Structure 1
Amino acid sequence: MSPLRMAQGRLRISFFLVLVVFFSFFVRLVFVQGVNAQERAHQAARELNQTVDLPAPRGEITDRNGNVLARSIDALDLVVDQNLIGDPKVTANLVAPIINASTAAIQNRLTGTRKFVYVAKDITPAQWLKIKEVIALNNSDKPMSKRIGGFFTQRGFKRDYPGKTLSANTLGFVNSEGVGGGGIEASMNSVLSGTDGVLSYSSGKGPSIPSARQSLIPAKAGTNIRLTIDRDLQWITENAIASVAKRTRAQSITAVVMDPATGEILALATAPTFDPNKFNVTKSNLLKIPAVQEAYEPGSTGKVMTFAAALQEKVIDPTTVFTIPYTIKRADRIFHDHESHPKWKLTSTGILAKSSNVGTIQIGEKMSENTLYSYLTKFGIGQPVNMGLPGESPGIFSKVDKWSRSTAPTVAFGQGYSLTTIQATSVFATIANNGVRAVPHIIAGTSNQNGHYTPKVNNSGVKVVDKEVAKTLSLMMESVVAEGGTAPSAQIPGYRVAGKTGTANRFNDKCRCYSGYTASFIGFAPAEKPRFVMSITIQDPKGIHWGGYLGGPVFKEVISYALKSYQIAPSGELNVPFPLDAATLKKREKITAAAEAKD
């Protein structure tokens, strides 16, 4: 074959190959522009346009007077474009110490090809300035290809508790993901959280294009919650129990102050407590809300329900006389009073004032088991309070068909069932509120970002005993804080006070046995027209464990402040106490008879 023909053949082959290539491009172009145009456009848009959530500030939590207890404050979130990090290890070594983070964890966040990655949340402006300084110093003697870039900040929010430990257990905390992890922050998380917004921006292979940013949906702030708590009264209460906790080395102390007429919780304090600003370094047992989560056997404070039932059923009156031995046997158990004594002849009031277990058993036996059970359930025993706090316990109260022959005597003087501090406070609030049980609550209402306030609707009160019975029992309870009672340290000069002490054997979950004590005092003032009910519960105190000795002074300190702060007038005429024993009763009857004879 001649050279000319060979050349022509090669040209034909080359031309054919060129046609094939051009045809392939044409087919591909038709496919991309015609058949698959929409999908390719969407793919390009996805690669160019990025979206980022804009965090919404959580709603505030305030006290009853609008004082802020929890709020969201501006914070900086450190963000990086991983494509601009030349050496993640070197960069992590520079940045991690500044933000107090693990070098390995930061290196992991810097490694990859993602254009938007959170490195750290809630950094301070000072930390961001330091990061920029060390990066600038590192880049000063490096070629362009070795320089660090890609760091920027995004505005965010950090949860702040200005009172630090104030109401910490009630408020709870917010974790690093912005989710409530305890207290009101957890139970009302969906209300407080609000709705995040969305930010869109365009980016190429390198950094994002700032001029192309646009907000698609603005963030909507969360709803504010107003509590019934009084900040100043809360502070006084926390300080009072903190000193007792330190002195007694108790496992925990819980105090509740309630308005008996409305059921509003004015203070709910726990010791020891924690700082929700530092919840991540707090022991888990300190994050609980013992007032609603921990059930215990109340002991003698539970006796008031037995007395209320007996008065309502008209099987006793304040001066009914009983012969009280030190011990009494029922079924296979022997019950006794807290201190050895000869036979007493006490009135019903005297049994309450001296907190006699044996005497209370005798009063309880004047009613059937079903009757006693029904009154305790009316007082709310064994039923959830539903205050809106997480993990609320209903307590434990077995039905009568589960009782043994010794259960009724045990229940009569406050053991054999369990309740929470809130439930115990509610029992006394019922007596203080003329026999009507107002539903305890701690959430007053909510307000949106426009300031519109919506009060929370609560259930109406439930009548438990007659007004006359409640008034009579209140007069009897005044003897508890009088001289000769078990809590004279709870007296408040100028005001009448009614109350009851309690010291119960404490059930220990660890050994599944009884060890230690639960000491308590619950009272209200002014007794003639109660404005405040307060309970103090001390779990496992070391040393002296009497409820009146430990709780009485706390009651006096806190309620004295409350009476003054709310400008409650002192009591008028003092109560003439019921006789505590048969001898005093007989003397009074003689005096009365002599006075009537003169008339």
Structure 2
Amino acid sequence: MTAGANRVPLVFLGMGLYLALLALGVYALVSRGPRPVPPPPSPPPLRGNLYASDGTPLAVSLEGGRYYPLGKSASQLLGFGERASGRGLEGLERDLNAALSEGRSFTLTLDPWIQALAERALWKGLERSRGAFATLLVLDRKGRLLAVANAPAFDPMGPRKDPEQDLSWRNHAFLVALEPGSTMKALTAAMLLEEGAARLSTPVEAPMRRKVEGWVIRDAVPHPPRLTLAEVLKYSSNVGISLLAEGIPKETFYRYMEKLHLTDPRPLPGVRTAPPLIKPPEAWGRASYANHTFGQGFLITPLHLAAAFAALADGVYRTPQLFQGQKAREERVFSAETARAVRQALEEALAPRAALPGYPLAGKTGTAQVVVQGRYSQEVFTAWFAGFVPGDAPRYTVVVAVHHPKGEIHGSLVAAPIFREVAAGLLAYAGLPPYAEGR
């Protein structure tokens, strides 16, 4: 009896302690409130968008994927990414991948109407020429890229083929370095005028061929044996321009190439481009220098040529711009008088298939042989046209390149008609009426 009686107080004591602890726990819960539940992790931001200058969406991310509202338009410039992750693989999707992945968006300088106009003309022109690929750029007076067109067309949402066999995905304007051919003669002429080494009326004895260090330089278009500099541009004489260029040192010629950023591996900041392939002047012999004056012996992209040619609009080189708000670097390369004189010569010597009645267009053709297996091919060429719309007071610089056309191969026959179609659209877009007779 004594042992049992002693256990009763202990039981009551244990129960009391348990109730006290329970009450303390309840009080703690009531006084502190419910414990906060950590929020679920935030989903990664949607990939940033790309817009045209007028706000037209070019590449957008929505729930479910990446979309390109304009389809094939500007598709090689915009590029594409992995289907699952969206990581950029080509074009601006690749170049801007880090920023786009963080949700940043960009507005380009592209004008959707001018882009569509350029693509329509280029796609038809490539089909007509049966070429391998083609590209076309349009810059305004401030150096802004209004159109970057490529052919053949590419559907960024369609099935992807072997990239080694199907090059329709490639932005040829930025990623392919080519010899500029006779379009370079216009820039060489400007150098001669600026240095006081020649005037447009300066004559030169120009046979149809000359031999330099064992190399034979030939002219393709029959012409009189004596030409002025203006006629050298008209007949696109390799012999004539190379002889006149001997009036300035090769180092001076190269310095102008540097000022025109033809040697610049990054002419467009923030965007991948193929680097030029140009040896320094100390590596040039007489034959190499002669070849450089008419656009042989070095490689540049169509973007390089377009930005350099645009300097003939007023003598000022402007860094090409692709993004709204991008600051252009400006450098005077030629005087306004030199630029005007060269454009006038190009206007008077304009290829017939580039001409529009009532409008003073100006430009230079080029037909560049392509090196195949270490030798200049007799079958593979790049047909060029670089010009101004209009020629007397340029609003636009247009450069066209068609690689490996079949049948007709010359820039005057292949690239010039594409330029004319684009020029007609640009003049209509700008609302410029034809000039009066006898202006």
- Deviation (angstroms), 1:420: 0.6
Give distance in 2, aligned partners of 1:552 and 1:530: 17
Letter in 2 for 1:404: G
Gaps of 5+ in 1: 1-47, 76-157, 195-221, 445-454, 482-486, 576-599
Q: Do 1:173 and 1:279's aligned partners in 2 also have CA atoms closer than 8 Å?
A: no
Cα 1:574–1:477 shift into 2, 3 Å: farther
Q: Is it true that 1:229 corresponds to 2:110 in the alignment? A: yes
Does the residue aligned with 2:286 lie in a helix, a strand or coil? Answer: coil
Question: Do residues 424 (structure 1) and 305 (structure 2) align?
Answer: yes
1:536 pairs with one of 400, 416, 430: 400
**In 2, are the aligned partners of 1:385 and 1:440 still within 8 Å (CA)?**
no
Contact 1:498–1:527 (8 Å) recurs in 2: yes
Query: Aligned residue for 1:265?
Result: 145
User: How far did residue 165 of structure 1 move?
Assistant: 0.8
Residue 97 of structure 2: aligned partner: 189
1:67 Cα deviation after fit:
0.9
TM-score by length of 2: 0.86
Q: Deviations for 1:76-95, whole angstroms, at most 9, x for unmatched residues?
A: xxxxxxxxxxxxxxxxxxxx
1:470 to 339, 343, 368: 339
Indicate yes or no: 2:420 matched with 1:553: no
Following superposition, the deviation at residue 459 of structure 1 comes to 3.4
Correspondence for 1:518 among 364, 371, 382: 382
Of 55, 58, 73, the match for 2:62 = 73
1:59 and 2:48 aligned: yes
Contact 2:223 2:235 in 1 (8 A): no
Deviations 1:88-111 (A, max 9, x none): xxxxxxxxxxxxxxxxxxxxxxxx
Which letter maps to 2:370?
R
* Cα distance per residue 1:190-210 (max 9 Å; x no partner): 22223xxxxxxxxxxxxxxxx
Task: Note if contact 1:257-1:268 (Cα within 8 Å) is conserved in structure 2.
Answer: yes
Q: CA deviation at 1:480?
A: 2.3
1:25-74 residue CA offsets vs partner (Å, 9 max, x unmatched): xxxxxxxxxxxxxxxxxxxxxxx999666242222211111111111122
If asked which structure has higher relative contact order (CA below 8 Å, sep 6+), I would say 2
Offset of residue 493 of structure 1: 2.6
The yes-or-no answer on 1:316 pairing with 2:198 is yes
Deviations 1:425-454 (Å, cap 9, x if unpaired)?
11220001x11001111111xxxxxxxxxx
Amino acid at match of 2:340: K
CA shift digits 1:325-354 (9 cap, x unpaired): 111111111111014x47522221111011
Q: Is the 8 A contact 1:431 1:471 kept in 2?
A: yes
Report the Cα distance in structure 2 between the residues aligned to 1:263 and 1:429, rounded to whole angstroms.
Answer: 8
Q: Distance in 2 between matches of 1:441 and 1:236?
A: 20
Shift of 1:321: 1.8
Q: 1:279 to 1:391 in 2, by over 3 A?
A: farther
Q: Is contact 1:520–1:547 with CA below 8 Å preserved after alignment?
A: yes
User: How many angstroms apart in 2 are the aligned matches of 1:165 and 1:282?
Assistant: 18
Query: Relative to structure 1, is the Cα distance of residues 540 and 342 closer, same or farther in structure 2, using a 3 angstrom cutoff?
Result: closer
The within-5 A match list for 1:116-195 is: 158-175=65-82, 176-194=84-102
Displacement, 1:558?
1.1
Match of 1:410 in 2: 291
Q: Conserved in 1, the CA contact under 8 Å of 2:261 and 2:267?
A: no
Q: Counterparts of 1:231 and 1:250 in 2: how far apart (Å)? A: 25
Q: Deviations over 1:158-190 (max 9, x none)?
A: 100111111001101121212111111111122
Q: How does 1:427-466 map onto structure 2 within 5 Å?
A: 427-432=308-313, 434-444=314-324, 455-456=325-326, 458-466=327-335
Q: 1:308 to 1:572 in 2, by over 3 A?
A: farther
2:220 corresponds in structure 1 to: 338
Contact 2:359 2:390 in 1 (8 A): yes
Report if the CA contact (8 A) 1:299-1:413 is conserved: yes
Cα distance in 2 between the residues matched to 1:317 and 1:386: 31
SS for the counterpart of 2:98 is helix
Q: After superposition, give the CA deviation of every residue in 1:102-141 in whole Å (9 maximum; x if it has no partner).
A: xxxxxxxxxxxxxxxxxxxxxxxxxxxxxxxxxxxxxxxx
Which stretch of the first structure deviates more once superposed, 48-57 or 226-235? Answer: 48-57
- Alpha-carbon distance between aligned partners in 2 of 1:408 and 1:537, rounded to the nearest angstrom: 24
User: Which of 263, 270, 276 is residue 382 of structure 1 equivalent to?
Assistant: 263
Q: Secondary structure at the match of 2:205?
A: strand
- Looking at structure 1, the residues matched to 438 and 248 of structure 2 have their Cα atoms a distance apart, in angstroms, of 33
Identity of aligned residues (%): 31
Shift of 1:549: 0.9
State the alpha-carbon separation in 1 of the partners of residues 186 and 123 from structure 2. Answer: 28
- 1:289 deviates by 1.4
Scaled by the length of structure 1, what TM-score is found?
Answer: 0.64
Does the CA contact (< 8 Å) of 2:143 and 2:328 recur in 1?
A: no
For 2:89, what is the secondary structure of its paired residue?
A: coil
**For the structure 1 residues 537 and 498, does the alpha-carbon distance in structure 2 shift closer, same or farther, using more than 3 Å as the test?**
same
| 1:569 CA displacement | 4.8
Shift of 1:399: 0.8
Cα gap change, 1:62 to 1:282, in 2 (>3 Å): farther
CA positional deviation for 1:282: 6.0
Counterpart-to-counterpart distance in 2, 1:193 and 1:347: 57
The alignment of Structure 1 onto Structure 2 pairs a total of residues equal to 398
> 2:172 matched to 1:290?
yes
Contact 2:266-2:272 at 8 Å conserved across structures: no
Is the contact between residue 267 and residue 304 of structure 2 (CA under 8 Å) also seen in structure 1? no
The question of whether the paired residues in 2 share the 8 Å contact of 1:500 and 1:521 is answered with: yes
- The correspondence for 1:245, drawn from 122, 126, 130, is 126
1:328 alignment partner in structure 2: 210
Corresponding position of 1:142? none
SS class of match (2:320): coil
Task: Please report the RMSD computed on the Cα atoms of aligned residues, expressed in angstroms.
Answer: 2.0
**Equivalent residue for 1:371?**
252
1:470, distance to aligned residue in structure 2 (A): 0.7
Asked if the contact 2:50/2:60 (under 8 Å) is kept, the reply is yes
1:115 is aligned to: none
> In the aligned structure 2, how far is the partner of 1:355 from the partner of 1:401?
27
CA shift in 2, pair 1:274/1:427, >3 Å: same
What is the identity, as a one-letter code, of the residue corresponding to 1:480?
A
